[in-house]
Amino acid sequence: MKRRSFLNTTAGAALGTLGASNLLGMKQENAGTHSYPLAITMWEFSWLERRWPGAGYEDWDQALSELVERGYDAIRIDAFPHLVYEDPEREYLLFPHWSTQDWGSPEINRVQVQPNLNLFLERCRAHHVRVGLSSWFRTDEEDVRMKLTSAQKLGEAWLSVLKSIEQGGVLDTILYVDLCNEWTGDAWCPFFVNDPPEALWTGWDTEKSKQWMTDSIAVLKEHYPDIPCTFSFTGEINQEAIAKGPFEMLDFLEPHIWMTSYNGGEFYNRVGYNYERFDYSGYRNMALHGKRIYEEQKEYWRKGLTEQIRLAAEWSAKQKQPLITTECWGVVDYKDLPMLDWDYIKELCALGTLAAAESGRWLAIATSNFCGPQFVGMWRDMEWHRQLTDAIHQAPVASDLQQSLLAKRMREISQGSQEAPIKQSH
């Protein structure tokens, strides 16, 4: 059966509504030559954990070659700062964060961060791929992350990462540092207790949160003032969210935006998906109801996504800070399973990507949070990726963002990325 191009049909038609039809059909330059906007993807902790046969990252050169072939020029990965801070070359036994998802390992695994991190960054540089650093603070058998009992220690952990990367001679690959994924969610940073304690996933605007962000970033800025820093956030982007701030300690904003966050998580509530980590009841409900519920009110869900993107752009303009989004657009969780159709996920992700690109407020844009070799249904559609990364690279950037620290860093490492030809590792 001939594959349908949802980018050229449903999502393509949406471009007329967005006023962004000029973003399609434009010839892309070679990946790695762009200063911004960049096409970025999230390889989180999978780059190190998923190295068993068939897991997708056992051959870094192959994975990076396929990424560049699809038009991407940046990735966001977990640098495991707490493990580097404890002992960068020690082998750690990690516990699974989930068994239902295909990010990372579904069972126990052993990892050694260094020298693997520097070796991976060498391969990224060879393929002209820039790297944003983040952390999900994975759980090891001793739960080392719980030693990060202060903002000072969080900053020092990240300082140990940057110093080890600099010692390895690959600091020029680093685009930015996101000190914690989806701060202040307790799944990722249980070492931080907010004030009030119940202010978890959307509690990043409390005074205690702001102080931690300020103090930990200050540790890095003392030694690496030219590397942009942020904390990524999640939650519905609505008027309440964009009223939060200011966040002068952040060099850019990194909101994670999904259709499923709209109207208090209405879509997942109606489907019966509850982020189950070790049983498949939620995925069964997605298989039975997800596409049907979307198709029955398609325009409603699409508007819920584009409205959040519009508000995020408004927030960026209000804060006078650029945006990067690396996790995004359709549903939060998905994978290759029977009765899980990728077509409507790709439709939503195309819509979100193009809406963000048209706004002029993003300096790096992801097409989804499933853009990795382990998500075969998404990864194999080369045409879909190429059309969207073309659009990202041709997107406008607002004039007030051109002199931001993030834009400056992007220009600097873009120039350096073109100097050496790609060489395969041996």
- pLDDT surpasses 50 at 426: no
Distance CA 256, CA 367 (A): 12
Read off the pLDDT of residues 329-357 as tens digits, 9 standing for 90 and up: 999 999 999 999 999 999 999 999 999 99
C-alpha to C-alpha distances, 117 to 122, 152, 189, 387, nearest whole angstrom: 9, 23, 22, 31
Cβ atoms of 257 and 312 closer than 8 Å: yes
Q: What pLDDT score does 385 carry?
A: 98
d(CA 351, CA 306): 8
pLDDT digits (tens, 9 = 90+) for 197-217: 999 999 999 999 999 999 999
Sorted by where each begins, the domain ranges of the chain are 17-417
Convert the pLDDT of each residue in 169-189 to its tens digit.
999 999 999 999 999 999 999
What's the mean per-residue pLDDT of the chain? 92
Helix (H) and strand (E) counts for the chain? Answer: 16, 13
Whole-number percent of the chain with pLDDT over 70: 89
**Section 192-197 average pLDDT:** 97
Residue 28 pLDDT > 80, yes or no? Answer: no
CA 181 – CA 185 distance, rounded (Å): 8
For residue 232, pLDDT beyond 60: yes
Confidence of residue 414 (pLDDT cuts 50, 70, 90): confident
The pLDDT value recorded for residue 146 is: 98
CATH number of the structural domain 17-417 = 3.20.20.80
pLDDT in tens, 38-70: 999 999 999 999 999 999 999 999 999 999 999
Q: Band of the pLDDT at 98, cuts 50, 70, 90?
A: very high
Peptide bond into 322 cis (omega under 30): no
Which residues make Cβ contacts (< 8 Å) with residue 154, sequence separation at least 6?
81, 148, 179, 180, 191, 212, 216, 219
Tokens representing 113 are 């961060």
Quick one: pLDDT band at residue 423, thresholds 50, 70, 90? very low
- The answer to whether residue 373 scores a pLDDT higher than 50 is yes
Q: What is the pLDDT of residue 366?
A: 98
Instruction: Take residue 357 and report the two structure tokens written for it.
Output: 């690109």
- Beta-carbon contacts of residue 269 (< 8 Å; ≥ 6 apart): none
Distances from the Cα of 343 to the Cα of 7, 23, 369, 401, angstroms: 10, 21, 15, 34
Residue % of the chain over a pLDDT of 90: 88
Cα distance between residue 144 and residue 148, in whole Å: 8
Tokens of 346: 């790709």
If 0-12 CB within 10 Å is exposed, 13-18 middle and 19+ buried, where does residue 112 land? middle
Per-residue confidence (pLDDT) for residue 32, from 0 to 100: 53
Is residue 179 within 8 A of residue 249, CB to CB? The reply is no
Q: Phi and psi dihedrals of 133, rounded to 5? A: -100, 140
Q: Is this structure's pTM higher than 0.85?
A: yes
Distances in Å between the alpha carbon of 184 and those of 37, 138, 231, 309, 328? Answer: 27, 15, 9, 21, 18
Question: Is residue 151's pLDDT more than 90?
Answer: yes
Tokens of 359: 């706004």
Q: What is the pLDDT of residue 416?
A: 56
367 and 390 Cβ atoms separated by less than 8 Å: no
